A = this chain, B = another copy of it.
C-alpha cells in the first residue's frame, strides 16, 4: 500500500485501533486485515501482542514529544504553550468525543487488565506532566509547578471523560475557557 515499511504500518494501524476500540478488543486478525497483510507476516514483525503494545506506546511517546517540541517552537511564552495544551481538547475534539483521551483511556484499560505495560503507558502522562511543570517553572511557579501541572492534567482528563460520555461541545468550550482564565489568574499574581 503506502511506501512505509510494514513494521511502521503495523504500529500506526495498531495505534489507531487500540485507541478507537481498546487494546484487548483489538485482535491480531483485526490489525492484519486493516494493514492488508497475513497473520503470519504479522507474527514475523511482532512475537506477541504485548510487544506491539510496547511499540505503540513508544510510538505515541515519540509523537507526543514532537508535538510538545512544536508547541515550544510555535508559542513564544510559557503561558501560550500551556494554552496549546489546554486547546487540544478542542483541536482533537472529534476524536475525543468518540474515543476519549488516548492517554487516559489506555492507562485505565491497562490498569484494569493489570497489564505489565502499565508503567510504560503512564510515561505518556509523565511526559505531559513534566513538560507542563517546566512551563510553570518558567512562569515563576518554581515551588508548586508540579502541583499545578497535575491539576491541569487532571482537569483536562475530566473534561475528556465527560465529553466522551455526553458529546457536549459547549461544555468543553466552557471548561477550556475556565482553564485559560485559571491560567491567567495564577500568571498575573
Contact = CB atoms under 8 A, between A and B. Distances in A.
A156 interface: yes
B113 A21 contact: yes
Interface stretch (A4-12, A50-58, A103-111): A103-111
A46 to B, nearest CB: 21
A143 interface: no
A30 interface: no
A151 interface: yes
A159 B158 contact: yes
Interface string A114-153: 1000000010010000000000000000000001001101
Chain copies in the assembled complex:
2
A161 interface: yes
A156 B108 CA distance: 15
Nearest to A22: B112
A20 interface: yes
Looking at A22, A100, A122, A158, the one whose CB has the most chain B CB atoms below 10 A away is A158
A165 B109 contact: no
B107 A21 contact: no
Interface in A10-31: 20-22, 24-25
Given A25-B24, A108-B100, A175 B154 contact: yes
Nearest to A126: B166
Nearest to A158: B158
Interface of A: 20-22, 24-25, 98-100, 104-105, 107-109, 111-114, 122, 125, 147, 150-151, 153-159, 161-162, 164-166, 168, 171, 174-175, 178
